[in-house]
Amino acid sequence: MNITGEDLILACSAIGAGLAVIAGIGPGIGQGIAAGHAAAAVGRNPGAQGQIMSTMLLGQAVAETTGLYGLLVAMLLLFVKPLVG
């Protein structure tokens, strides 16, 4: 079987894309912590539920960004193929 340089780059891009989405671990843990603390806060002070919800969503969205960067790198590697000349 002949493997050309382009095939090798495509295969390595696929592996790289898989590695890039490992970045999703961090936001997963972070958003879980945020949601857990928000649940505890609602338990302590049910009256402030609306404000806690919006603060939690905002913080989670900011924490999510790093994971999305990993997703973007994976997408670029898979579909835009910047390394194939």
Partner 1 sequence: MSHGLLVSADNIDFMIHGLFSYELFGQTVWITTSHVCILIVMLSLILFAIAANRKLAHATDVPDNFQNVIELMVEFLDSIVKGAMGGSAKRFSNYISTIFLFIFFSNISGLFGLRPPTADYGTTFALGVITFCLIHFNQFKYQSLKEIWVDMCSPLPPWLPIWFPINLISEIAVPISLSLRLFANVLSGTVMMALVYGLLSAIAYVWPSVLHIYFDLFSGGIQTYVFTMLTMTYIKNVIGDRDEVPAEAK
> What residues make contact with partner 1 under the rule CB under 8 A?
54, 57-58, 61-62, 64-65, 68-69, 71-72, 75, 79
What sections of 1-85 are H helices per DSSP? Answer: 5-20, 25-44, 49-75
CB nearer partner 1, residue 42 or residue 71: 71
Which are the contacts of 12, defined by CB distance < 8 A and separation ≥ 6? 83
Which are the contacts of 81, defined by CB distance < 8 A and separation ≥ 6? 10, 13
CB nearer partner 1, residue 5 or residue 69: 69
Closest approach of Cβ 2 to partner 1, in Å? Answer: 21
**What is the C-alpha separation between 20 and 69, in angstroms, rounded?**
9
Closest approach of Cβ 64 to partner 1, in Å? Answer: 7
CB nearer partner 1, residue 5 or residue 70: 70
Closest approach of Cβ 44 to partner 1, in Å? Answer: 22
| Structure tokens that stand for 57 in this block | 């969503």
